[in-house]
Chain A
Amino acid sequence: MAGENSTALGHGAPGLLRGLALPAWLCGLAFAAALLAIFQYALRAHVPGELEPGGFTFQNFVAQAHPLYIGVFWDTLLLCAGTAILSLLAGYPLAWAILRTRSRLARSFILAIVITPLFLGEIVRTYGWIVVLGNSGFLNAALAWFGLGRAEMLFTTGGVLAALVHVTLPIVVIMLAAGLAHIEPELERAAQSLGATPARGFFTVTLPLSLPGILAAGTTAFAWTFSAFATPQLVGGGKVNMISNLVYQLGFASFNFPFAAALAVSGLALTAVTLAALSLLTRRVEQRL
């Protein structure tokens, strides 16, 4: 029941409503102040052995033009893009199954398995992956059982990628399913009744129509992966680093908080640009549909 919304209450008591929003204003301003604190730190000099930053400088941004840091930025972008693409590829069949399965039981079963990890938090899930990928972990035991030898999986980019996809998959499935729910199955059946093969019906009708959902889910997966910390830290074990890991190391191992802040600012700028480009692309696609 989409109710008719009235703002009569607002007209009757603007003061009351304004007062109700006051605590949220304060909370939002605290958040803005925290972001400003990062910007301010980023422009201050690091005084070794001191927690208090020194004078104004651009050095923290200039120093980022080092191959070491550019490499981490590049790796982060690749991991984000790779995770987004892989979770879309894995998520699409799952979203499809949730929507098109006739049995209610099967649907609830798939949905329950897909969303449970969402509520487990980063640490429990990442620990699970250490046990799966470790040198004497589950996968290596399985490989040995099949007589396939052992494989180095922990502390590799592939291992980190698998764990990152695991983190983003639930949200990608939910977003893809929400997008697919708007597409009538009849459209595809119509294409097939006009002589198209099921595959052609899918690629010329359903897939293009679900493109906005795919882009939205991909964007979210990209942004989530960018903010991942525990997964690359523990599964990557220092050999696979993302910006988040670098920021933490600089802050808590070297106590160089100004440089950590500057890296965080650059990371924010990088994601902002990427997300803006992705939203521009989404708008283009939606206009063409």
Chain B
Amino acid sequence: MRWWLRILVLLLLGFIAMPAIVACIVAFDARSILNFPPQAWSTRWFERALSYPDFRDGAWNSLLVMLSASVIATLLGAGAALTLEKLEFRGKRTLEALVMAPLVVPHFVVGLGFLTLFAQSGLPRGLPLLVLCHVVLVLPFVVRSVWISLKSLDGRLEDAALSLGAPPGRVLRQVTLPLLLPGLAGGWLFAAILSFTEFSASLFVSTQRTQTLPVAMYNYVREYADPSIAALSAIWIVTTMLLILAADRWLGLSRVLGTEVPGGR
């Protein structure tokens, strides 16, 4: 590579990494107002971030919603992908469009939609609403991930099992599903990350009681200027990097990335 291209790439990488690095530095600032560079160091903002009730409740809600939404979406997405790949039926294109459409609809519109739907039907705005909203938002990614795995799966293995007399349900359980496991794991992981970081739609459908961690952080940034959020962000950034490293080891980064290329937020 030419030298000027190298410098350009380094500058661009600096642009990408800058906010995360600066937030991590500010997290250790002893003062209670944002002022770069820090003059004295402290870990008190980590203590405050970890003990602040809204963040604790938010983290708990986020975990609950993430686990339910990602597991439900993986089950629904796997079923939809299997049917879309293996079966010709009327309404196939409708099902595909319904399942994939949330990719192109902005999250704030999805959030507003579920809010008005629940308001009109007189249903309560509890955690189930958040879970439903997140399932709808992450479903396209699971369907895509499983579908890609299905397309590269050797169909003759299923044919062999069928021709040897195994009933279809057993073939699905003992042949198809084990072969699909990497696709399912990749889809689940991606759904979990997307759900945990989702903000715009959650802001619309959550209440003070059901707010997720990103919503609680947003409300905090609007009210206070201290570096608690920087401390929380630092924890978040380090955890995410460890997760990415783990995903790379176990699943291969390209597989995880393969599911996300045409993405939506």
Binding site for B on A (CB under 8 A): 1-10, 12-14, 16-18, 20-25, 27-35, 37-38, 40-41, 51, 90, 93-94, 96-97, 100-101, 110-125, 127-132, 134, 136-138, 140-141, 166-167, 169-171, 174-175, 178, 220, 223-224, 226-230, 234, 244, 247-248, 251, 257, 260-261, 264, 267-268, 271, 275
Contact = CB atoms under 8 A, between A and B. Distances in A.
Nearest to B257: A174
Contact of B132 (A21, A30, A171): A30
A24 B81 CA distance: 9
Contacts of B18: 128, 132, 138
Given A123-B218, A132-B18, A25 B117 contact: no
Contact of B36 (A34, A137, A175, A264): A137
The B interface, classified by DSSP as helix, strand, loop or mixed, is: helix
Interface string B76-115: 1111101111111100000100110110111111101111
B48 to A, nearest CB: 15
A122 B89 contact: no
Contact of B19 (A23, A30, A166, A264): A166
B106 A244 contact: yes
Contacts of A4: 154-156
A284 to B, nearest CB: 20
Given A1-B154, A24-B139, A125 B19 contact: yes
B95 A174 contact: no
B95 A24 contact: yes
B34 A178 contact: no
Nearest to B256: A115
B19 A128 contact: yes
Nearest to B243: A119
Nearest to B75: A23
Contacts of A30: 117, 132, 136
B230 A127 contact: yes
B241 to A, nearest CB: 6
A119 B240 contact: yes
Interface size class of B (residues with CB under 8 A): 35 or more
Given A28-B99, A116-B244, A220 B262 contact: yes
B172 A122 contact: no
A114 B12 CA distance: 9
A232 to B, nearest CB: 11
B112 A7 contact: no
Interface string B1-38: 10001001100110111111011001000000111110
Given A24-B76, A37-B117, 15 more contacts: A3-B153, A5-B150, A6-B158, A12-B171, A16-B172, A23-B75, A38-B116, A41-B120, A94-B9, A123-B197, A128-B20, A131-B22, A261-B116, A267-B106, A271-B106
Contact of B152 (A2, A112, A117, A267): A2
The A interface, classified by DSSP as helix, strand, loop or mixed, is: helix
Nearest to A140: B36
A226 B156 contact: no
B176 interface: yes
Interface in B226-251: 229-230, 233, 236-237, 240-241, 243-244
25 contacts: A1-B154, A3-B155, A5-B155, A8-B155, A9-B158, A12-B162, A13-B172, A17-B83, A20-B82, A21-B79, A31-B98, A37-B117, A94-B9, A111-B253, A116-B237, A124-B237, A131-B26, A134-B36, A136-B36, A166-B15, A226-B106, A264-B109, A264-B112, A268-B106, A271-B106
A223 B199 contact: no
A24 B197 contact: no
B193 interface: yes
The 6 closest A-B pairs by CB, nearest first: A128-B19, A121-B197, A28-B98, A227-B106, A34-B113, A13-B168
B197 A230 contact: no
